[in-house]
Amino acid sequence: MNKQLLIAASVLALSAGSALAAPIMVENFSFELPGEGKPGFDLIPGWSGEGTGGGGAETGWGPTDGIYTGYCGGNMEVFQLTGHTIAADEVYTLTIDARRTWEGPNITLGLYYDDGGARVQMAWLLHEFVGGSTTDMEELNLVALANDTPAAIGNTLGIQIMSGPSDAAWIGFDNVRLDVIPEPATLALLGFGALGLITRRRA
């Protein structure tokens, strides 16, 4: 193996971490279903809601995908268990667009693992909305490392959206995205695969 090939392989391996982030499916990520009326969380595929403030899906309020947004009052936890099993060395990025629709002081994004039906939080991001009684949609990001929560490994990954403490305060959200960067062993295999490709092309 010559030096040029080694350099090419190293660059590929280094760039693989960001380039190969893979999406994890988020069911009804944009709150477009069921697509009629103003359903509560008990009627929205993929999502559940618990708490006293209520909420669901509605049209308007600045959707960043489609025509519906999710919304809730205070003291609410909106959540979805994905189909992804947490593996060692994985890195997750949760991205959501969110706003204050009426006096909602803040939003907390969370990633959790399912422990026999209990939601155990792995990582969270508290964001305070700055502006008037309503604000525009803004993109929020939460990054979490599987290895920071060893008990999570082998369990299923979930998404949480939580609202602030006052029932009479409302937030809106849309376009929930979740990505995973593979563990280094997978990256190494991909790097070697790319190296093999280069070698064959030169042969």
Q: For Ca ion, which residue of 49, 55, 63, 73 counts as binding (CB under 5 A)? A: 63
Residue from 161, 193, 1, 153 nearest 73 by CA:
161
Euclidean distance between CA atoms 199 and 176, whole angstroms: 40
Give the interface size with Ca ion as a residue count (CB under 5 A).
Answer: 7
Binding of Ca ion by 30 (CB under 5 A) = yes
- As to burial, measured by CB atoms within 10 angstroms (0-12 exposed, 13-18 middle, 19+ buried), residue 31 is buried
Among 39, 46, 66, 184, binds Ca ion (CB under 5 A): 66
Fill in the per-residue mask, 145 to 174: x = in contact with Ca ion (CB under 5 A), - = not in contact.
-----------------------------x
Judged by CB under 5 A, which stretch of 5-13, 57-65, 97-105, 177-185 contacts Ca ion? 57-65
Which residues face 94 on adjacent strands? Answer: 142, 178
Nearer to Ca ion, 68 or 112 (CB): 68
Residue among 29, 41, 61, 68 that touches Ca ion (CB under 5 A) = 68
Instruction: Confirm if 84 and 26 have CB atoms less than 8 A apart.
Output: no
> Two tokens at 193?
């695969």
Instruction: Count CB neighbours of 179 within 10 A.
Output: 15
What residues make contact with Ca ion under the rule CB under 5 A? 30-31, 63, 65-66, 68, 174
